[in-house]
Amino acid sequence: MKDELTVIMPLCPERAKRERINGILTQVFANCPQAEVIEHAADLRPLHGRRILFAVVLGESGVNLEYYAMLKQIRLQPDMFTDCLGALLVDGWSELYTKSVARELVFAANRSGCAFIGRPLVEGTGSLQNFHVLAQLQATDEFTAYQNAAADLVQRLFGQPTLPPARRIAAIHASSHRTSNTLGLWQLVQQRFTTDQGFDIREINLRNGAVADCSGCPYTMCLHFGERGGCFYGGVMVEDVEPAIEWCDALLLLCPNYNDALSANLTAFVNRLTALFRRRRFYDKRLYAIVVSGYSGSDIVAGQLIAALNMNKTFFLPARFAMTETANDAGSVLRLPGIGARAAAFADRIVTGC
Ligand SMILES: Cc1cc2nc3c(=O)[nH]c(=O)nc-3n(C[C@H](O)[C@H](O)[C@H](O)COP(=O)(O)O)c2cc1C
């Protein structure tokens, strides 16, 4: 990958709304004077092997029309960002929309070939209340904490080491083997992995009720249990899942769409990961997913994974991290036209790491 930075910054026509993000980016441009800036959808073209900083200004409405013109192109161009590595800044004038726009943009760019570093988002809400704690810790004001976070983001974008292709995979699910389309698809994908390629797979079934949801202990209590390698609840999460996450170099989540969200057991898994997160970060681990919806909405489930595990919990997001399919009747996913080729392509991306 080249050490070149492209800043994709859809132009907001109202100058006042651009001022804050321009202030945030001053330091970034001072450190990368050669950075190319793309402000108009008409100038967006396929970019290969570059580091990309998406910088999106949202007004109070959360709508930036030039951003939507770009999003349209990104969604229609599956190779827009081949071998690119991304991070993003989203600046808003209200308390809403920064996260949802970021999640949607990461999902689209990832499908077009862009990998994302762990914790790739720095967002500024209207009030900058989201920097309140960080500003206190740094004994500074919220705007300076925001600037510092943006500078750190770009440093991490350039400092990201190349992760070797994953060989130790922790596959987590909570489905029944007999009927699940999602597990059927995983079995098809898995056939491409062979032991002589060095693959080692730990498959963990979080059976109904095995993982109680996070009880939301106070921070110090969570830290106390986490530092001793445990959690208030203990159980399968501490005995099997956490060791598998520490051991793996890729986490693969097998996700049926339940009411346009992860199933309760998988959500509990993500929430309970907080105890392990107190002890270590996951920047060095890849995140993959297989998502199956009966009708529609796989993008919402994949977006939930991006927000929870890549943006919050720091997992690295490889290009095209999720295989998404639509199938309802038991076993029907395996009869979809072209499913064998798509499963093979997904497996090959895991094998090669690209
Ligand atoms: C509780 C529950 C909720 C569901 N909600 C949705 C939904 O919101 N949207 C959808 O497309 N499919 C929904 N489905 C269908 C599944 O996504 C579908 O069966 C798919 O094949 C994956 O599930 P499976 O791996 O268990 O077969 C739901 C299924 C269940 C059991």
Q: Could you list the mean pLDDT of each consecutive 10-residue stretch along the chain, which spans 354 residues?
A: 88 91 90 92 96 96 96 97 97 96 98 98 97 97 96 95 96 89 96 89 83 76 77 78 96 98 95 92 98 98 98 98 97 97 97 93
Residue 261 Cα to ligand 1 midpoint, Å, equals 10
Residue 302 Cα to ligand 1 midpoint, Å, equals 14
Which domains can be identified in the chain, with CATH numbers?
A: 5-159 (3.40.50.360), 168-352 (3.40.50.360)
Q: pLDDT at position 312, please? A: 98
Q: Cβ contacts of residue 217 below 8 Å, gap of 6+?
A: 225, 232
Contact assessment for residue 317 and residue 283, using Cβ atoms and an 8 Å cutoff: no
Q: What is the DSSP letter of 123?
A: E
Q: pLDDT at position 232, please? A: 67
* Tokens of residue 53, six digits: 């900083």
User: Which amino acid does the sequence have at 131?
Assistant: F
Residue 272 Cα to ligand 1 midpoint, Å, equals 23
Q: pLDDT at position 208, please? A: 59
> Ligand 1 within 6 A of 327 CB?
yes
Q: Torsions phi, psi of 123, nearest 5?
A: -120, 145
Task: Identify the residue whose C-alpha is closest to ligand 1 atom 11.
Answer: 295
Specify which residues 201 forms β-bridges with. 169
Pocket test for ligand 1, best of 258, 265, 304, 324 (most atoms within 8 A of CB): 258
> Ligand 1 within 6 A of 208 CB?
no
**Distance between CA atoms of residues 89 and 25, nearest Å:** 9
Q: pLDDT at position 28, please? A: 87
Pocket test for ligand 1, best of 179, 182, 259 (most atoms within 8 A of CB): 259
Select from 276, 285, 281, 261 the least CA-distant residue to 170.
285
Long-range contacts formed by 70-75: CB under 8 A, 24+ apart: 70/8, 70/10, 70/41, 70/44, 71/104, 71/105, 71/108, 72/41, 73/41, 73/44, 74/44, 74/105, 74/108, 74/109, 74/112, 75/108, 75/111, 75/112
Burial-class residue 98 by CB neighbours within 10 Å (0-12, 13-18, 19+). buried
Instruction: Please list, residue by residue across 274-301, b when 16 or more beta carbons sit within 10 angstroms of its beta carbon and e when fewer do.
Output: bbbbeeeebeebbbbbbbbbeeebbbbb
User: Which amino acid does the sequence have at 225?
Assistant: F
**Distance between CA atoms of residues 354 and 349, nearest Å:** 5
| 3-class state of residue 52 by DSSP | strand
Q: Cβ contacts of residue 200 below 8 Å, gap of 6+?
A: 167, 168, 169
Atom of ligand 1 nearest to the CA of 327: 21
Q: pLDDT at position 343, please? A: 98
> Ligand 1 within 6 A of 265 CB?
no
> Ligand 1 within 6 A of 332 CB?
no
Please report the beta strands in the chain, taking only residues with DSSP state E, as ranges in sequence order: 5-8, 36-38, 51-57, 84-91, 114-124, 168-173, 200-205, 250-256, 286-293, 322-326
Q: Could you tell me the pTM of the whole model?
A: 0.95
